[in-house]
Amino acid sequence: MMKKLLVVVTVFLMAFGIAVSAAAQQTITLEFATNAPPLVTNAYKEVAKAFNEKYPHIIVDVTSQGAEFEALMRTRMASLDLPDMWTTHGWSVERYSEYLRPLNDQPWIEDIIESMLPTISNDEGQIFVLPIDSDQAGIVVNKTVLERAGVDYYDLHTWDDFRDAFEKVKKSGATPAGFYGRDPRSFARFLLWAGSSLFTTSPSHDYSEQLLDGTFDWSRWDTANELLLEMKEKGYMNPDVLTATADSVHQSMALDEIAFLFTNNSAVVSVLEYNPDAKMGFIPVFAYHPDGPRFLIGGERNAVGIAFNTPYEEECLLFLEFLTQPENVRLISEAQGLPPALKGIENDLGPLTEDYQRWQGLPIVPYFDRAYLPSGMWSVLQNVGAGVVSGEYTPSEGSKILEENYHRLRAENQ
C-alpha cells in the first residue's frame, strides 16, 4: 500500500513539476511600436528575430504605424493601453516620460555618450530610454546632380545660395528638391528647418523666448510658409509632389534625377538601396538672416523606452540589454545613417562618413518642434505644409492655423 501511495505521489509531483516548467516557459509576446522608416524598422525586426532565437519563449512583435504613429500613441496614452516598448523619436522626456519606466538602474546607462545625456534626461537626471544613435541632420544631397549643374554644394550658405542652386539644377533638367505628399512629414520637416533658420539661430532674429512663453507673433511664420510655396510655384519640387511617396522620390534620387531632400540621413541609406553607386551626402541647413550661421539639427532619434505598466518588465529589460550589443547597435544606426549613441561602438556610414567629419564643429540645434512647440504640433505642421503646397491654404491662413493650435495645445499641456 505504501509503495502504491509513493508511486502516486511521485507521479503527481512529476506532473506538477512539468506543469510548472511549462508555465514558466509560456510564450510571451512583447509589442514594440515605432515610427521608424522601413529600413530601420526591418533592422529592429532582425534584432527581434535574433532575440527570439536566444530566448524562444519571448517574441518581440515590431510594428510600424508611420505617419499615424503619434496620433495613435496619444490615444493609447489617454487610455493607458500602451505598447510594452516603443521608440520615442525625440520626445522621451517632454511627451512620454510619465508613461515610461526610468532606466537609470540599468548596467548600460554608463555607456551612453556624454553629448546625448542632456537630451534624454529630465531635471532630476532620470533617463527613460536606451538611445541607439545620435541624430545629426542637415539637407541630403545627390552630389552627381549638383556637380552636373555646376553647383558647389559645400559652399551653400544662405537661402539665396539655395535659390541660385535650385535654378541651376532646374536648367540642367533635374528636379531641385524632392517632396512626397503621400507622407506630409516631408513638408513639415522643411518648415522645421526653415523655422530654426528664421526664428532661433540668428542673434538679430531670435524669438526663442517668445516661442517658449506664448507671446510669439505667428504672422512672422508667413515667411516659412512662403518659402515652401515658392519652391512649388517656381517648379523646384518634383511634378508629382502631391502624390509621390518616399520610395518613389528616393528611387528618382538614386537615378540622379533629384538634387536635395530636406530630411534626415536615413534617406541616404534608402537611396543607396536602389543604387549603391549613387554619390550621396549631406550639407548644413541654410542661414536665412545675414548674421545667422549654417547649422545641423540634432538630438534623440532611435531611442527605446519601456511602458511603466507593462506586465513584462523583466522581459523588456532583457530585450533592451540585447539591443546594446555592438552588432545590434551597428545594424540599427547604420540603417538610420547615424553615429552610435553608445561608447566604444563604431559603425560604417559609407559615403556619409566624409561629411560627418567635414561638419564637425558646426552648431547643432534641437529640432524646432521639440524645443519650442507644445506636444501635438507635429501633425499640425504636416497639415499646414500639405495645405500650403496644394493651395488649400495661403501662407497667412497656414500661420493662423498654427497659431490657433499652438495656443490650444499649450493650454492642454500645462
Range in 156-160, 186-190, 237-241, 347-351 with the lowest mean pLDDT: 347-351
Superfamily of structural domain 136-296+358-413:
Periplasmic binding protein-like II (3.40.190.10)
Average pLDDT over residues 47-62: 98
Domain boundaries, given as residue ranges, for the chain: 6-131+302-337, 136-296+358-413
- Work out the pLDDT band at 16, boundaries 50, 70, 90: very low
Q: How far apart are the first and last CA of the chain?
A: 75
- Non-local (6+) Cβ contacts of 248 within 8 A are 180, 240
Q: 335 with 348: CB under 8 angstroms? A: no
Decide if pLDDT at 21 tops 70.
Answer: no
What would you report as the CA-atom Rg of the chain, rounded to the nearest whole angstrom?
Answer: 24
Per DSSP bridges, beta strands 303-306 and 130-131 are antiparallel
> Grid coordinates representing 333?
544606426
Average pLDDT over residues 188-217: 98
Decide if pLDDT at 38 tops 60.
Answer: yes
d(CA 243, CA 137): 25
Average pLDDT over residues 118-142: 95
pLDDT at 24: 53
pLDDT at 66: 78
What's the predicted TM-score (pTM) here? 0.83
> Grid coordinates representing 412?
492642454
Tell me what the pLDDT averaged over the chain comes to.
93
Superfamily of structural domain 6-131+302-337:
Periplasmic binding protein-like II (3.40.190.10)
Q: Is 187 exposed, middle or buried (0-12, 13-18, 19+ CB in 10 A)?
A: buried
Q: 191 with 380: CB under 8 angstroms? A: no
Range in 12-26, 76-90, 199-213, 359-373 with the lowest mean pLDDT: 12-26
Decide if pLDDT at 154 tops 70.
Answer: yes
> Grid coordinates representing 127?
533617463
Q: 409 with 374: CB under 8 angstroms? A: yes
Return the amino acid letter for 164: D
Range in 19-33, 291-305, 377-391 with the lowest mean pLDDT: 19-33
Decide if pLDDT at 215 tops 70.
Answer: yes
Three-state SS annotation for the chain: CHHHHHHHHHHHHHHHHHHHHHHHCCCEEEEEEECCCHHHHHHHHHHHHHHHHHCCCEEEEEEECHHHHHHHHHHHHHHCCCCCEEECCCCCCCCCHHHECCCCCCHHHHHECHHHHHHHECCCCCECCEECEEEEECEEEEHHHHHHCCCCHHHCCEHHHHHHHHHHHHHHCCEEECCCCCCCHHHHHHHHHHHHHHHCCCHHHCCHHHHHHCCCCHHHHHHHHHHHHHHHHCCCECCCCCCCCHHHHHHHHHCCCEEEECCCCHHHHHHHHHCCCCCEEEECECECCCCCCCEEEEEECCEEEEECCCCCHHHHHHHHHHHCCHHHHHHHHHHHCCCECECCCCCCCCCHHHHHHHCCCCCEEECHHHHHCCCCHHHHHHHHHHHHHHCCCCHHHHHHHHHHHHHHHHHHHC
- Nearest CA to 101 out of 316, 376, 256, 390 is that of 316
Decide if pLDDT at 22 tops 80.
Answer: no
d(CA 180, CA 353): 27
d(CA 359, CA 317): 36
Percent of the chain exceeding pLDDT 90 equals: 86
Three-state SS annotation for 117-167: HHHHECCCCCECCEECEEEEECEEEEHHHHHHCCCCHHHCCEHHHHHHHHH
Sign of the Cα pseudo-torsion (197, 384, 263, 96, in order): positive
Q: Would the CATH topology of 6-131+302-337 be identical to that of 136-296+358-413?
A: yes
pLDDT at 344: 95
